[in-house]
Amino acid sequence: MIKIAIDAMGGDNAPAEIIKGCINAIANEKCKATLVLVGKEDIIKQELEKYKFDPSRIEIQNANDVITMEDSFNAVRLKRESSMAIGLRLVRDDAVKGIISAGNSGALVAGATSVVGRLKGIKRPVIAPLIPTKKGYSLLVDGGANVDCKPEFLYQFAKIGSVYMEECLKTKKPTVGLVNIGTEVEKGNQLTKEAFKLISEDKSINFIGNLEAREIPSGDANIIVCDAFVGNVILKFMEGFGNWVFGMVKEEFTRSITTKLAALLMKKGLKNIKSKFYYNNKGGAPILGLKGLVVKIHGNSKSEEVTSSVFQVEQFVRLNLVNKISSKFET
């Protein structure tokens, strides 16, 4: 039996949307796992009373404390009885096969690294979100775990990302691009120049060279490699740009009766575009390179993202993702 822990108290919409997402997951035939809701037991039970569900598919692990978005990166160490800390220990002890959390990103990465631990040979774990592109979705590594990187970290991100894309997203020989200020080999700072050399020397990586930011939406690179400072800027820019574009479209289409009629005719197409840009049905961002499965979902996640993340983690377990990554770094 596969058990997956859920940080029921993490995120802006906890516990209501977190629990709703869990109920929707176990109601779907795609999900065979049992879900362990970690958090304040009385609050969780009160929320569960709103639903009809198979009680054998839901367990509760009490946690008296909560890590907030304002807490420091070492909150897991300081708040040992928090839902996030207890959930991570369940992964470490193999009581569950993975954990999903919408909580504090810094605390989750630091806590997962110290509690669950890194795989042998992995220098830094990496947050790996998907971002929409012209050709579908590309994997961004690193999306938020390592602001200050060494060249060998970026090289490992490319290697880890390649395994993930091949095994989980079934992309054959995924292409890898290194984010830089120009496509020429000599462009960039010391970090990118040295990382370029390391990645290009590993023939198991399908490296296509440097990648300028304007080329990211093309989807030519299945895997986009950068440090977390650059990666987070890319993510936040895309999110802000999307909000601005859709806000502008809405404003233009509500100017008059004529534009409202045009919007009605284009409603399905606009909805399709928006659903691709806001991809809550794709699951969360796994923190790859750990001894267990840890998935970060947005702090403002609604039930749909929780549900898709449950499917995602169960797939990771069945695909034996952790061991497949580990095998690429055995010495």
Q: Which fold has domain 130-277?
A: Isopropylmalate Dehydrogenase (3.40.718)
pLDDT digits over 145-186, tens only? Answer: 999 999 999 999 999 999 999 998 899 999 999 999 999 998
Residues in the chain: 331
Q: Single out the residue of 180, 206, 176 nearest to residue 194, CA to CA.
A: 180
Average pLDDT for 246-263: 83
pLDDT attached to residue 279: 58
Count of C-beta atoms within a 10 Å radius of residue 193:
16
Residue for token pair 């895309």? 238
Tell me the mean pLDDT in the region 49-67: 96
Provide the token pair at 5.
């822990």
Whole-prediction pTM: 0.92
Instruction: Classify residue 183 by its DSSP letter.
Output: S
CATH T-level assignment (fold) for domain 3-122+289-327: Isopropylmalate Dehydrogenase (3.40.718)
pLDDT over 70 percentage in the chain: 97
How does pLDDT run across 288-303, given as a tens digit for each residue?
999 999 999 999 999 9
pLDDT band at residue 247 under the 50/70/90 scheme: confident
Q: Are 295 and 99 in contact (CB under 8 A)?
A: yes
CATH 3.40.718.10-classified regions of the chain: 3-122+289-327, 130-277
Q: What is the mean pLDDT of residues 207-225?
A: 96
